[in-house]
């Protein structure tokens, strides 16, 4: 990359320069051939002036900014200064005026590699940089409405661009809401399954509780008694086996539950 010392000083006359551009009294010595190669606007201007038998040697551009115009020259001369955040906006402006598609292309490539912002979206909108535009609308739709409203650049977005952002935002929210709905369905299925397991567990515990009131689960001597005799070793032994059996089933209850097939 060229540093400032390597850059051409256009204010100094050059033996081969054949055109002087004057901006607010400052002469810039340039080469028609070079400018014509980059800009069809300049090319036409030079060709038209040539037929007047009075070759164009000097052009006054009073409405231009000398620094910005010099930057443009640096970008097209062999030193080819890089596009930067400092020059991209006015280079796009000048490139549009002089139909310098290669400069526009370089600016677009530069912007594609910059962090996305509303400021860049405004540039993309103004100079019809389709890829940059698309990329920044994608970015803008992920911002909150507050972020968008407080960004000073938002007021420079035209209604069509704002519409694209809001449309993208709505689509994004719809996707999100569909996702939530799917999660809700899934959780509701899981909840039903747990509820069923709980009911089964409860039923199993209730049947264990009823054992002490079931006469035919006792020993033959106490089968006709109204109340359970806790002092009978034989009854207790029978009861112990029954409880063990039912608890064993309880541990494996989950195995017998029908699974709800996932959607
Ligand atoms: Zn007994």
- Domains of the chain, by residue range, sit at 4-114, 189-256
Q: How far is the CA of 235 from the centre of ligand 1 (A)?
A: 4
Per-residue pLDDT tens digits for 154-213: 999 999 999 999 999 999 999 999 999 999 999 999 999 889 888 888 887 788 888 888
Distance 145 CA to ligand 1 centre (A): 78
Distance 209 CA to ligand 1 centre (A): 18
Q: What is the pLDDT of residues 68-126, one digit of tens each?
A: 999 999 888 876 778 899 999 999 999 999 898 889 999 999 999 999 999 999 999 99
CA of 236 to the centre of ligand 1 (A): 7
> What is the distance in A from the centroid of ligand 1 to the CA of 251?
28
C-alpha span between 20 and 15 (Å, rounded): 12
Which of these ranges, 9-13, 117-121, 147-151, 253-257, has the smallest mean pLDDT? 253-257
Going from the Cα of 144 to the center of ligand 1, the distance in angstroms, rounded, reads 76
212 CA → ligand 1 middle, Å = 11
Encoding tokens for residue 56? 């164009």
CA 225 to ligand 1 center in whole angstroms: 9
Q: How far is the CA of 208 from the centre of ligand 1 (A)?
A: 18
Percent of the chain with pLDDT over 70: 90
Ligand 1 midpoint to CA 183 (Å): 55
Spell out the CATH class of 4-114.
alpha beta
């Amino acid at each position: 990359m060229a540093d400032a010392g390597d850059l051409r000083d256009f204010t100094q006359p050059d033996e081969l320069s054949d055109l002087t551009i004057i901006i607010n009294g400052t002469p810039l010595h340039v080469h028609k051939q070079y400018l014509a190669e980059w800009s069809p606007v300049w090319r036409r201007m030079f060709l038209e002036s040539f037929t007047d038998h009075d070759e164009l040697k000097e052009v006054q551009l009073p409405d231009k900014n000398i620094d910005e115009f010099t930057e443009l020259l640096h970008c097209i001369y062999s030193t080819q200064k890089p596009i930067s955040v400092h020059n991209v906006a006015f280079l796009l402006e000048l490139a549009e005026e002089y139909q310098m598609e290669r400069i526009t292309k370089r600016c677009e490539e530069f912007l594609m590699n910059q962090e996305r912002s509303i400021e860049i979206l405004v540039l993309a909108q103004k100079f019809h940089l389709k890829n940059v535009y698309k990329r920044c609308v994608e970015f803008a739709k992920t911002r909150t409405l507050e972020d968008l409203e407080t960004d000073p650049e938002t007021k420079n977005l035209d209604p069509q661009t704002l519409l694209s952002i809001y449309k993208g935002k709505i689509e994004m929210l719809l996707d999100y809401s569909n996702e939530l709905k799917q999660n809700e369905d899934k959780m509701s299925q899981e909840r039903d399954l747990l509820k069923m397991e709980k009911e089964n567990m409860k039923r199993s515990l209730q049947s264990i509780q009823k054992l002490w009131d079931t006469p035919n689960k006792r020993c033959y001597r106490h089968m006709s008694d109204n109340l359970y005799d806790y002092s009978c070793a034989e009854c207790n032994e029978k009861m112990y086996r029954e409880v063990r059996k039912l608890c064993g089933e309880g541990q494996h209850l989950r195995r017998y539950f029908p699974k709800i097939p996932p959607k």
